[in-house]
Amino acid sequence: MMQQVNLGLLGGGTVGGAVFAALSERAELLAARLGLRLSVVSMAVRDPGRDRGFHIPASVLATDWKAVVHNPNVHVVVELMGGTTTSREAILAALQHGKPVVTANKALLSAHGEELFAAARTHRANLYYEASVAGGIPVIKILRESLVGNRTLALRGIVNGTCNYILTRMKLEGADFADVLADAQRLGFAEADPSLDIDGHDAAHKTGILASIAHGFWVRPDQVHVEGIRLVSRIDIQMAERLGYTIKLLGVVKNVPARAGKGRHPKPGILVAVYPALVRNDHVLASVNHAFNAVAVRGDMVGETLFYGRGAGGNPTASSVLSDLADAALDLRHDSHDRVPAFVPHARGKAHVVPMAEAASRYYVRLTVIDRPGVFARVASVLGAAKIGISSIFQPEGHEGEAVPVILMLHDAPHAVLQKAMARIARLPAVRGVPTVLRVEDTDEG
């Protein structure tokens, strides 16, 4: 008789519901491909009376995660509840029982990944997390397995569908930030707390996970520099377009060269960051639109690679959960533990994470200034004193009045130096409000 692997599902919402439906609809396909059956024997939700558009048999339904995790018939636990408290407790309990766990919970991995992976090792139970980054794109497997012979030189990703959707519609339709965010919430890809998306935290959780795999050590959340998209306005999107760029929220993991004698760490390291950036229109990431995600990885053997797909939503995310379930079931059958260890340092040793203050970039700056002679000269003098070069400066027509926008494109400068100069510029009598500062991403760098 064909071997059966029993699953315990925690959560039956957007992703849990799609996993539950796919497991029943694709039972024969999966059995044929894997040579074993995946069967849901227990499933916990918060509200058993909720109409979910699918039927959970009473014999399977629970409201307490413990009933699922401690059920002796459950071989693999699938955590799709979200949050970082109950989910942490449930995953630790499952691992302590030696049960493999599949999760899509990037917020939890970001906050407690080190502890969870250590528990998995201690209890010889595997932890799978393909769906935690970029929804349906199998980027975890690609980094861990397919690119195993490569050192990662640079990774740049559009890993938050909500922000990409907002920026795309602001660019293509001139839509308003708040209206588009409301649409993203209606369509089900914004987090329950949308500030996780628009302030860059969700992208930071995912970027930290990718950085940890790519560089072989756990990158703590406080080592990831985070900026969201609240400050990006329609005029910045239009100005960037005039200059040949598209603004994208990027998750970036890149090698940073040593800057002799500068900062506390004058040795090479990696930058792990999330920020809105101007991407040249001829780079593929510039044409990744709406809720789509893409991750560009440059390996030292393979060169440039690009992985594109749906980064959110029930079915795409469930597709990655099924991939993990297949691995979990096959690893159980072959009694395989830690088949591909989660974080293995490169032969050259543990890299260090460079603080953003020390990383250099080119910049786009928008100032609002009083339209009178001599203003450009004063701004240029502050930048000159900070040794920051200007590559172009313009004042778009059609904004005549008391206060007008001025756009500056700046040569490479360390973040801390740029910030200091911007604080001085903001204090000039002719400058109004806070300057908008965005990085110009050099996609050849890293």
- Footprint of ligand HSE on this chain (CB under 6 A)? 135, 160-162, 189-191, 197, 202, 311-312
Question: Rule CB under 6 A: is residue 333 a binding residue for ligand NAP?
Answer: no
Burial class, 1, CB count within 10 angstroms (exposed 0-12 / middle 13-18 / buried 19+): exposed
Least Å distance, CB 414 to ligand HSE, is 30
Partner touching 112 among ligand NAP, ligand HSE, none, CB below 5 to 8 Å by kind: none
Least Å distance, CB 203 to ligand HSE, is 8
Contact indicator for 209, 106 with CB cutoff of 8 Å: yes
Sole binder of ligand NAP in the list 14, 110, 160, 246 (CB under 6 A): 14
Sole binder of ligand NAP in the list 8, 16, 435, 446 (CB under 6 A): 16
141 catalytically annotated: no
In degrees, to the nearest 5, what angle opens at C-alpha 201 toward C-alphas 200 and 204?
Answer: 90
Q: What is the DSSP string of 126-172?
A: -EE-GGGSSTTS-HHHIIIIITTT--EEEEEEE--HHHHHHHHHHHH
Q: Taking CB under 6 A as the rule, which mask of x and - marks residues 182-201 in contact with ligand NAP?
A: -------x------------
Rounded to whole angstroms, the maximal C-alpha distance in the chain is 86
- Identify which range of 14-22, 32-40, 121-129, 275-283 contacts ligand NAP by CB under 6 A: 14-22
Distance of CA 398 to the CA centre of its chain: 38
Catalytic residue from among 99, 171, 206, 254 = 206
Alpha helices in 264-334 (DSSP H): 314-333
Partner touching 13 among ligand HSE, ligand NAP, none, CB below 5 to 8 Å by kind: ligand NAP
Least Å distance, CB 248 to ligand NAP, is 19
Amino acid at 247: I
Question: Rule CB under 6 A: is residue 15 a binding residue for ligand NAP?
Answer: yes
Burial 293-327 (b: 16+ CB within 10 A, else e): bbbbbbbeeeeeeebbbbbbbbebbbbbbbbbbbb
**How far apart, in whole angstroms, are the C-alpha atoms of residue 402 and residue 370?**
6
Question: Rule CB under 6 A: is residue 105 a binding residue for ligand NAP?
Answer: yes
Would you please indicate which residues are annotated as catalytic (active-site) residues?
206
Residues binding ligand NAP (CB under 6 A): 10-16, 44-47, 50, 65, 80-82, 86, 104-106, 131, 135, 189, 312-313, 317
